[in-house]
Amino acid sequence: MLTRRGKVAIGVVVALVILFALGIRVTHPQSGMEHALGSAESSIAIYRVTDNYSLDDKVVVALPENGPALGIVRGVVDGSLDVQIGGTLFRLALDDVNGKMVVIIPFLGYPLSWVGL
């Protein structure tokens, strides 16, 4: 028989596998828009992988020089998006956009920064 901790661990792993299969991902942004509780670097972002974007969607993007970043869609052009990250507007291919942001968890990014993630 499994102990209570074993059952909880199996439950957590099963839940994570199901969320991953549904397109839910987690990242630690290295730059991007600020929110009411602090900067993007101090947070964890949970996002959903998709290919459908519209104006004012909050998105997670992959910047080659800075890693993951939080931005806002300011324009949709065939095959690319205009994304505002901070005060800068980037035209990014759809392949560089990871997905739509679902929720931001503030302050959990600080411990990840300490260990280099």
Which tens digits make up the pLDDT trace of 70-107?
Answer: 999 999 988 899 999 888 898 999 888 999 999 888 87
Which tens digits make up the pLDDT trace of 16-63?
Answer: 899 999 999 988 887 777 766 667 777 888 999 998 899 999 999 988
DSSP per-residue letters across the chain: ---HHHHHHHHHHHHHHHHHHTTEEEE--SEE--BTTB-GGGEEEEEE--S---TT-EEEEEETTTEEEEEEEEEEETTEEEEEETTEEEEEEGGGEEEEEEEEEETTHHHHHHTT-
Of residues 84 and 67, the one with the higher pLDDT is: 84
Predicted local confidence at residue 10, as pLDDT? 93
